Chains A and B, each alone.
Chain A
Amino acid sequence: MRMVNLRAPYSARRVALVLAVIFVLGFLLLPGQLQSIFQQAGSPLGWIISWPLQAVAGIHDRIADVWGRYVALQGVEAENQQLKRELDLLKEQNGQLREASVATERFAALLEFKKQVLPTSVAAQVIGRDTGNWYQTIILNKGSSDGLQSDQGVITPAGVVGRVVKTTASTAVVLLVTDPNNAIAGLIQRTRDEGIVEGTTQGQARLKYIPLLSNARPGDHVVTSGLVGGFPRGIPIGTITRIDKEEEALFQSAELSPEVDPNRVEEVLVIRSSPIPTEGERLSVPKSKP
Chain B
Amino acid sequence: MKGIIYSAVIVGLVPVQSVLLQHISLWGVKPDLGFVAVCLIGLLGGELDGLLVGLALGWAMSLFSAQDLISSVAMKGAVGFLAGFAGRQVVYLSPVVLVMGLLVVSCLAGLVVPFSVKLSAQQDLWWAVWTVVLPQACLDAVIGGVIYWLMWSRLNIEQLMSESRM
Contact = CB atoms under 8 A, between A and B. Distances in A.
Interface in A44-69: 45-46, 48-49, 52-53, 55-57, 60
B77 interface: yes
Interface string B65-99: 11111111110011001000100111111101100
Contacts of A203: 28
Contact of B117 (A10, A24, A134, A139): A134
Given A4-B97, A181-B120, A175 B69 contact: no
Interface string A190-219: 000000001011010000000000000000
Interface stretch (A165-173, A220-228, A249-257, A271-279): A165-173
Looking at A5, A165, A198, the one whose CB has the most chain B CB atoms below 10 A away is A5
A17 interface: yes
A130 B18 contact: yes
A127 interface: yes
Q: Which size class do A's interface residues fall under?
A: 35 or more
Q: Which size class do B's interface residues fall under?
A: 35 or more
Contacts of A42: 59-60, 62-63, 69
Interface string A150-192: 0000000000000001101001010100011100000000000
21 contacts: A3-B92, A3-B96, A4-B92, A5-B91, A5-B92, A6-B91, A7-B89, A7-B90, A24-B78, A28-B116, A49-B63, A128-B18, A129-B19, A130-B18, A132-B67, A132-B72, A133-B32, A134-B119, A166-B65, A201-B122, A203-B28
Interface of B: 10-12, 14-20, 22, 28-30, 32, 34, 47-48, 51, 59-74, 77-78, 81, 85, 88-94, 96-97, 113, 116-120, 122-123, 127, 131-132, 136
